[in-house]
Chains A and B, each alone.
Chain A
Amino acid sequence: MAEEKAGRFPDPHEFKVPPELEGWEEMYPSHHLFSGDRADWEKQQFWYQDKIHAPEPMPPLDLLFQEAWQISLSQYTTRVFCIPPAQGIAQRMVGCYMYICAIAPPPPEVIGEKAELFGKRVFYVFDHYEELWDKWLTKFKALGEEMKALKVPAELPKFVPEDQVLPAPVGFYDSYKLIAAFDTLVNQMFKGWQYHFEMLNLTYLAYLMFGDVCRKLFPGISESAIGKMVAGAYVSMFRPEEELCRLSRLATESPEVAAVLKSSAAVNKKIADLEKTPAGKNWLKAYDAAKDPWFYVSCGSGWLHYEGSWISNPEIPYGYIKSYMERLEKGETIERSLENIDKEREEIVAEYRKLIKTEDDKKSFDGAFNTIRTIYRYAEDHLFWVEHWFHTIWFDKVRKFGKLLVDNGMLNEVDDIFMFHRYEIPELLTEVATAWALGVDIPVRGDFYKTKAEKRRNILKAAGEWNPTPALGIPPEEVAEPFTIMLWGVTTDKVKEWLKGVSSPKAGDVKEIKGFAASAGVVEGPARVLKLLKEIVDLKPGEIIVCPNTNPSWAPVFTNIKAAVTDIGGLTSHAAIVCREYGVPSVTGTGIATSVIKTGDILKVDGDTGVVTIVKRAG
């Protein structure tokens, strides 16, 4: 198998990136690069591009989330809950794109040891899930509040204030605080990501188990049906939308508030106008109460600094409120019907259950179903708290450092801070702290860093034009790691597909793309490619949205689209869940939809099979 030329991908050590990307290596920490000293091991692995988490060229600082998940996800599988034959997932960067590999199973004696620990540790979690979830949420919120409270100096003082010197010197000052604050911020993010996987591996394992039971009993049952059976209606991910609905209804109760919110004025003006009346003040109070945590929602996946959030773009929630109010006036219902969602789920489960012919199988089905239902909320809830709420707080804090670096002549723009990886930023901060400590008019190496940031932006841009190989190295014999199976859908067929695609066709030649059959149904219609949330204004009813991924901040658009196609996300992604709820066909996790489909192309979306066909190219 390894010897077959045809059955393998390029050797990662011989693979060449385009010359325009020259110098990309320095953008990422050394442990994320393929190297001669690890070559023997690296050559034996199967590396494939992680289009789920890193579909775009990776800004250096944003790699931190990836670094954090690599460690955390893997440790829960290998050292904490000990999923017996499974090991972790390793990452490498190649020309600004991330490749990952599922590590082969450990030796049999290790599997045996892990199996023992697994039984002891895992079943406890299922037995005490509710209580553990409460504990999880409590500590996670506390961590987020800690991060919010972290002080980043807006400027370094001319002289430290009196109270830090007399009656007794504090003993450490802004030069130390600045560097320590960044370290603390990074540690908080890493800690948050340690929490992120606390029960996620087990959730995925339970989901795979339930899916397997369903497929044994009902061969060919769709992923969409399985998803519908396990989904919950009352999940955090939908709260942002629910809060918008509530605020919209509240606004319609007062004509003067309604008039302001329905106008096309800028958000600042709306707020100023609302401040003028008691009813307006009341409404603003309600808005502010909802804002934290529920509007800490990324406009994208939460993985990339340039996506923005509702907090940084209030015109997004205000825009939704305006359109909700218009719909309310037309007499439409704007809320999801939670009761219906629950009722529908129960009906589906009952109907499948009724079809099971033997009592034994019924018992297994019930056991499997109760197990997944116990824990499944974790998959839906953690996403809001970590990727949205927590990341939004993080980006806001990082920009405070960015601003300080701009003010001190180290960078041209606040967001240039994202052009440096997390091990480099302390260097920039130390430079600023040193100059401050040394005294007046001390030069810093600003040009050096400004040039570097500029160069890296250009490398990222060039990387965006490049379509790298889907995989490197030798396909594995077997995989046991639940995420690899569920999120990336690594199967023999998938590997074959990648092998077929080794010489990726040009975007314009692609006729058909594959992803997860996330929500059933077949429709045909015109595509609307939305790379960023702000492009939503162009969306027309009856179009098929094609986007990197969706998240709670996209929810309001689902009521008038024909189908959704995403680059990123598996069967439990936001798009998958929302589409199933609204009965909109959806194919998720295609990896390439936004790069090969153009707005206006006529698509056929088959949510039953996970195939998107480009029926006719636009113009």
Chain B
Amino acid sequence: MAYTIIFENLDKRSLPLVGGKNASLGELIKAGIKVPPGFAVTTAGYLDFITQAGIASRIVEILAGLNVEDVSALNSAAAEIQELIKGAHLPEDISGAIETGYAELCHKCGLKAVPVAVRSSATAEDLPTASFAGQQDTYLWVEGADRVVDRVQKCWASLYTPRAISYRVRNQFPHEKVLISVGIQKMVNSKAAGVMFTINPTDGDPSKILIEGNWGLGETVVSGSVNPDKFLVDKVMRETVSRTISTKHIECVYDPVSREVINADTDPERQCQCCLEEREVKALVQAARDIEAHYGRAMDIEWAIDRDFPFPDNLFIVQARPETVWSQRKAESKIGAKSGYQLLLEQAMKRIKVSE
């Protein structure tokens, strides 16, 4: 069983091996969507690691009979497992595979140490019925093979945060059935980034696409730490129905000094400036339509626009998962089954209130 697989060789059937996030990146590439290059560290890598490092059985023991309602017991069990994982020695063939994968990605991008995002990709996440959203760690702007390997191990450990453990118990997901893979993806040097839904999340209107964005990396939008610019677009006509330009105080950017991403104050003149050009909105709408058409359902998508490339090569999709809120609801009729004449008579009886 391979420890790493490049995204191009993944699709939705790869889920047990690479988790939801990575499988969906492969699926997007198959659908002709532009996704930054990268590879997945498979669940086999995680499984062989905990087995060979001799910590697998210990994890099972700690979790057996744990009462997740007991907060302090939950916290100490979680801490203990995470320490086990982070402290265990990673077998050379697994770390070697990750290093090789990273070296090949560097070669592909023509860089010595390409900055990458290291993201957890659990096998129980981004399902149409349960999002498990944001339960596991993500590390941005990781440079160098050693750091990448270290962050992979940290992602594995994040499978056992108190929240993740209790979520599984409450949703009756057996722990041993939930495995973790890690995605290693070239960082988009985002001029602007954000999220889009192929449905209006406020009212479930399926004819709209909602785009939200901010300057810098998409984390400020995803985490809700900023009021993003909003575009509500008619999916069929591709017309912007409404646009809200917000005051965006902060942006998530890479800080070369600390070699980490930080939330920095946005310079005043860009705070009230729209983070997207008209043509970029149009291109995002096209991508949203393509993604929705490929999956045949409403989707929740993360996008980024790279400052290093010219338009339209600068537009990347970094994530797509099924929308879970409206898609779970039973659709209710808004009008009822009426004939044209019934509707005409109703219209004829209408009066429009004019004064207040």
Interface residues of A (CB under 8 A from B): 1, 7, 83-86, 105, 111, 115, 118-119, 122-123, 126, 205-206, 208-209, 212-213, 216-222, 224-225, 228, 348, 351-352, 355, 357-361, 363-365, 367-371, 475-480, 485, 490-492, 495, 520-522, 608
A491–B334 Cα distance when bound, in Å, is 24
Contact for A492 among B206, B340, B342, B356, CB less than 8 A: B356
| Contact partners of B349 in chain A: CB under 8 A | 84-85, 111, 115
* Residues B343 and A209 in contact, CB atoms below 8 Å apart: yes
* Residues B354 and A371 in contact, CB atoms below 8 Å apart: no
* Residues B208 and A370 in contact, CB atoms below 8 Å apart: no
* Residues A219 and B203 in contact, CB atoms below 8 Å apart: yes
* Residues A216 and B335 in contact, CB atoms below 8 Å apart: yes
| Contact partners of A368 in chain B: CB under 8 A | 340, 343
| Contact partners of B234 in chain A: CB under 8 A | 218, 220-222, 225
Contact for A118 among B236, B334, B345, CB less than 8 A: B345
| Contact partners of B170 in chain A: CB under 8 A | none
A608–B343 Cα distance when bound, in Å, is 27
* Residues A358 and B355 in contact, CB atoms below 8 Å apart: no
A92–B347 Cα distance when bound, in Å, is 29
Interface residues of B (CB under 8 A from A): 200, 203, 205-208, 232, 234-237, 239-242, 278, 331-356
* Residues A358 and B331 in contact, CB atoms below 8 Å apart: yes
Contact for A222 among B241, B347, B354, CB less than 8 A: B241
| Contact partners of B355 in chain A: CB under 8 A | 1, 7, 475-477, 492, 495
| Contact partners of B208 in chain A: CB under 8 A | 218, 220
* Residues A224 and B237 in contact, CB atoms below 8 Å apart: yes
* Residues A126 and B341 in contact, CB atoms below 8 Å apart: yes
| Contact partners of B333 in chain A: CB under 8 A | 358, 360-361
* Residues A224 and B239 in contact, CB atoms below 8 Å apart: yes
* Residues A522 and B278 in contact, CB atoms below 8 Å apart: yes
Contact for B353 among A123, A126, A477, CB less than 8 A: A477
Extra 9 A-B pairs, beta carbons < 8 Å, given A224-B239, A478-B352:
A119-B345, A221-B234, A358-B331, A360-B336, A361-B336, A364-B338, A367-B338, A367-B341, A608-B239
| Contact partners of B348 in chain A: CB under 8 A | 83-84, 86, 115, 118, 122, 205
**Identity of the chain A residue whose Cβ is nearest the Cβ of B241 in the assembled complex:** A220
**Identity of the chain B residue whose Cβ is nearest the Cβ of A212 in the assembled complex:** B347
* Residues A478 and B354 in contact, CB atoms below 8 Å apart: yes
* Residues B347 and A205 in contact, CB atoms below 8 Å apart: yes
| Residue in A216, A220, A492 with the greatest tally of chain B CB atoms within 10 Å | A220
Contact for B207 among A221, A224, A490, A521, CB less than 8 A: A221
A220–B232 Cα distance when bound, in Å, is 9
* Residues A225 and B239 in contact, CB atoms below 8 Å apart: yes
A357 and B343 in contact, given A222-B237, A477-B354, A478-B353 (Cβ under 8 angstroms)? no
Min C-beta distance of B203 to chain A, whole Å: 6
* Residues B207 and A205 in contact, CB atoms below 8 Å apart: no
* Residues B335 and A364 in contact, CB atoms below 8 Å apart: yes
**Identity of the chain A residue whose Cβ is nearest the Cβ of B331 in the assembled complex:** A357
| Contact partners of B354 in chain A: CB under 8 A | 475-479, 490-492, 495
| Contact partners of A475 in chain B: CB under 8 A | 354-355
A217–B333 Cα distance when bound, in Å, is 9
| Contact partners of A212 in chain B: CB under 8 A | 343, 347
> What are 7 sample pairs from A and B whose C-beta atoms fall under 8 A apart?
A217-B335, A357-B206, A367-B343, A477-B354, A477-B355, A491-B354, A492-B356
Q: Ordered nearest first, which 7 A-B pairs have the shortest CB separation?
A: A371-B340, A357-B331, A367-B340, A209-B347, A360-B337, A360-B333, A218-B207
Contact for B236 among A220, A352, A358, A371, CB less than 8 A: A352
* Residues A492 and B353 in contact, CB atoms below 8 Å apart: yes
| Contact partners of B350 in chain A: CB under 8 A | 85, 480
A121–B23 Cα distance when bound, in Å, is 61
| Residue in A86, A213, A348, A495 with the greatest tally of chain B CB atoms within 10 Å | A213
